[in-house]
Structure 1
Amino acid sequence: MSVLPLVFTSGWASGINAYAVVLLLGLFGATGVSDDVPQTLQRPEVLVAAGVLFLCEAVADKIPYVDSVWDSVHTVVRPLAGAWIGALLAGQSGALPDVAAGLLGGSTALASHAVKAGTRMAVNTSPEPFSNVILSTAEDAGVGAVVSFAMFHPEAAAIVAAVLLAAGVAALCFLVSRIRRFLRRRARRREERRPVARVGRPPD
């Protein structure tokens, strides 16, 4: 199997939920579903850590504003995870240099992370909290479906991931104006809350 499509797909998915990617790939390898998963991802301690962190993300990702804080922290984590997974997959197959695979996985993860973080900033401008839950659930389901699909049809899954990434970039460009309006409103509220110096009444 060509490892390049799987590296790209795992990079895209890592930018959305890196822990889910590590957990899924590790389980596919540990259960014998795929022989292309590196042993490092199948280690029990890796699976346990990925599972715990996945549950933490599943909760934090559905709370307005907490999700944006979580995304900020993972601006470094997700691209590094994408690069790490890509390098491991390349090392397993020997068909692609580790450095090249790491760059592809990391850059793809960074792009999809930027789309996710920017989209969440726009969603957080909505007064109701349900959109966060719906979007987070859709993201997790999408990651699970595409990564699982990539185990059996890597080329087709890579095409799906590329289409989703392009659609996400287009949607983010559309939402940029909404994010800017939200930031301007928040800055205006801060200005209004600042105490105004009272001028003393002149003597009669």
Structure 2
Amino acid sequence: MDELSTLLNSVQPMLDWRDLPVDMASLAALAAGLGWASGLRLYALVFVLGAAGRFGGVQLPGELDVLSHPLVMGLSGLMLLAEFFADKLPWLDSVWDAVHTFIRIPAGAALAAAVMGDQSGNAQILAALLGGSLAAGTHFAKAGARAAINTSPEPVSNVVTSFGEDALFAGGVWTLFNYPLAFLVALVVFMVLAIWLIVSLWRFVRRLLRPRSGQVAA
């Protein structure tokens, strides 16, 4: 029992920013987390990482240190404010999501690949595929859910959902940095639910379109 207690007390989070360079498992967890967060709140993620590197004394791994550049921080901060308000307005949030289909997914892949900037080319490609896939799953689940919520005439549900996404992003990033193993478990659960939501919304849309297709054929 004493040996077990000593072992448990010696376990440190995989993402121990104080003792970089971190190992491959830590980098993979970070790449997955950045992909997920990119699909939810891309500009907030870029700004937080940049601020951590510039003001928080954090040595960002790989090629992420570019996020600490004042120009990158300034642009991401402006876009963060724009997204914060656009995401609270019914239907404007869906337009914003539609446009960012072409931004969040490649950005998630790029950020994940940047984590592996000091690793081999194969590691960077695998990280890009992982980050892009997670960003896509998160983005489409978010965009689909918001489009369904926007069918309600009242704006309250949209605003509440948006604040819920803000809280989810903040909690997820905090967990990623402090308890990466717990984050990975939660990420698996989240992605299972996201896939279920995307499939359910797709089936619902198909059911709506079937009667119209029948009328046109007639």
Question: Normalising by the residue count of structure 2, what TM-score does the alignment of the two structures yield?
Answer: 0.76
Query: In structure 2, what is the Cα distance between the partners aligned to 1:54 and 1:179?
Result: 31
For the pair 1:17 / 2:21, whether they are aligned, the reply is: no
Displacement of 1:171 in angstroms is 3.4
Query: Aligned partner of 1:132: which letter?
Result: N
For the pair 1:81 / 2:133, whether they are aligned, the reply is: no
Q: Secondary structure at the match of 1:102?
A: helix
- Residues 96-120 of structure 1 show CA distances to partners (whole Å, capped at 9, x for unaligned) of 7222211111111011111011111
Change beyond 3 A, Cα 1:184–1:128:
farther
Q: Please tell me whether Structure 1 or Structure 2 has the larger radius of gyration of its CA atoms.
A: 1
Identity %: 39
Question: Normalising by the residue count of structure 1, what TM-score does the alignment of the two structures yield?
Answer: 0.81
Mapping of residues 155-194 of structure 1, within 5 Å: 155-176=181-202
Does the Cα contact within 8 Å between 1:20 and 1:144 map onto a contact in 2?
A: no
Does the Cα contact within 8 Å between 2:149 and 2:158 map onto a contact in 1?
A: yes
Mapping of residues 19-98 of structure 1, within 5 Å: 19-32=43-56, 34-37=58-61, 38-92=64-118, 94=119, 97-98=123-124
Q: Secondary structure at the match of 1:35?
A: coil
Displacement of 1:33 in angstroms is 5.0
Aligned length: 187
Does the Cα contact within 8 Å between 1:122 and 1:178 map onto a contact in 2?
A: no
Does the Cα contact within 8 Å between 2:137 and 2:194 map onto a contact in 1?
A: no
In structure 2, list runs of 5 or more residues that go unmatched.
1-21, 213-218
Which residue number corresponds to residue 175 of structure 2?
149
Change beyond 3 A, Cα 1:178–1:131:
farther
Does the Cα contact within 8 Å between 1:26 and 1:42 map onto a contact in 2?
A: yes
Q: Secondary structure at the match of 1:164?
A: helix
Does the Cα contact within 8 Å between 1:62 and 1:133 map onto a contact in 2?
A: yes
Q: Secondary structure at the match of 2:158?
A: helix
For the pair 1:131 / 2:154, whether they are aligned, the reply is: no
Which residue number corresponds to residue 9 of structure 2?
none
Q: Secondary structure at the match of 2:100?
A: helix
Which one scores higher on RCO, CA 8 angstroms, separation ≥ 6? Answer: 1
Change beyond 3 A, Cα 1:30–1:126:
same
Which residue number corresponds to residue 216 of structure 2?
none
Does the Cα contact within 8 Å between 1:24 and 1:147 map onto a contact in 2?
A: no
Choose 141-150 or 105-114, whichever is displaced more: 141-150
Displacement of 1:15 in angstroms is 0.6
1:115 to 131, 141, 146: 141
